[in-house]
Amino acid sequence: MVHISRICFRKYGNFVDNLRLYVRGGTGGMALPRLGGHGGNGGNVWVVATKNTTLKKIKDKYPLKRFVGGSGANSSVRALKGDKGKDEEILAPVGITVTADDGRILGELNAEGDRVLVAKGGSGGTPYSSFEPKKGQVKHIRLDLKLIADLGLVGFPNAGKSSLLTALSNATPQIANYAFTTLRPELGKVAYPDYKQISIADLPGLIEGAHLNRGMGHKFLKHVERTKHLLFVVDVGGFQLASKTPFRSAFEAVQLLTKELELYKEELVSKPALLVVNKMDLPEAEDKLEELKEQLQNPEEFTDLLPDDMIPKSFITFRHVVPISALNGFGVDHLKSCIRLSLDEYAAMETSAMHQEKLQALRQQSHECFRNEDKISLSSGVGRTQ
């Protein structure tokens, strides 16, 4: 039996995925001129990845959003070398990119225990600095959260992503017959009988122009960046956001989603992808599915259906195209199997590629070793001849 548990954020207003903080390294300690003492260095400020925390918890716990390292101890008669100031640690969730105000990336927190130094403490006073201590670094930094997941759900509003999660689990996300029902990113885990767990990030529905930040596009598209696979979800009957917007068939929806990802960050479309064709319980769904499959086999022949500026540079070849009905459960178990199969195949390919790289590196080292031995032999031979 496969089941899924969900970790939900209460409402979008409470979901924080970007935080700006003031950080300052501790000031160094004073030296003792008459005895040549050294003041202690100021404490550093670190961002450290830890479990069971969120950016919202940081925001609530530290409303001033100020983090300062401890001051170094002054040199004294009892201790000529002053103690270092205490380091300040900002405990942040895994999946954080730490940037400076100018956009420079200072580091990433990809696993529990990862650390990024964000403000160095000042040096203590020494004879070389006229016994004067230095102040610590001062910065404003940003903590930017990008969900880390095996699979990222991508689709236009009302494609049935929330219904799909309901079919996969006992969760009860908001579902209704209007476009925007998922209003914040959500993260869930699918657990398999062999205890393998697969994480799924459900992102709010995109709209055309999401790459331009329409509909808070950038706020949600960035969460796709750290997913291993993409799971496209489309309505077999097509989609229309509003009465004033054009109707899009399932094929058009796939290509428009591809284009939005491509325009936001081109490398996203190179990720392995699966396609879920939802709402197979609707009339004429089988005929529409066959039409979609034919179009996906030769997408270049159907580009006239799309506006010129929305034709993707490259078309995605899906590892699996899975028809389902999230309403009655048709195809859901098969989808679970396809997800597992695709991720396992991808992991095996990654392992194989890693082994090949290591083997190539060993061969290169071996060749260099032989070349060096040959040089030594030739040099020794020349020496004997002389």
360 in a domain, yes or no? Answer: no
96 and 178 part of one domain: no
**What pLDDT score was predicted for residue 237?**
92
234 and 334 part of one domain: yes
Domain endpoint, select from 114, 145, 176: 145
Residue for token digits 């089988």? 286
> 177 pLDDT exceeds 70?
no
160 and 129 part of one domain: no
198 and 309 part of one domain: yes
141 and 158 part of one domain: no
119 and 242 part of one domain: no
Cα 320 from Cα 344, distance rounded (Å):
14
> 6 pLDDT exceeds 80?
no
123 and 270 part of one domain: no
Domain total in the chain: 2
Cα separation values, 349 from 295, 356, 363, Å:
29, 10, 21
3-state DSSP call for residue 362? Answer: helix
Of the candidates 42, 43, 66, the residue with the CA atom closest to the CA atom of residue 139: 66
Domain endpoint, select from 111, 145, 179: 145
218 and 284 part of one domain: yes
366 in a domain, yes or no? Answer: no
Of the candidates 200, 191, 196, 224, the residue with the CA atom closest to the CA atom of residue 210: 224
Residue 217 domain boundaries: 149-346
139 and 163 part of one domain: no
Full strand arrangement of the beta sheet holding 115-119:
88-92, 45-49, 115-119
163 and 277 part of one domain: yes
Tens digit of each residue's pLDDT (9 = 90 or more) over 130-153: 889 999 999 999 998 876 778 888
> 219 pLDDT exceeds 70?
no
Question: Does 196 or 319 have the greater pLDDT score?
Answer: 319
pLDDT, averaged across the chain = 81
pTM of the prediction? 0.66
Buried b (16+ CB within 10 A) or exposed e, 59-89: eeeeeeeebbbbbbbbbeeeeebbebbebbb
Tens digit of each residue's pLDDT (9 = 90 or more) over 57-93: 999 999 999 999 999 999 998 888 999 999 999 999 9
**Of the listed ranges 44-53, 104-113, 176-185, the one predicted with least confidence:** 176-185
Tens digit of each residue's pLDDT (9 = 90 or more) over 261-304: 888 888 888 999 999 999 999 999 999 999 999 999 999 999 88
256 and 316 part of one domain: yes
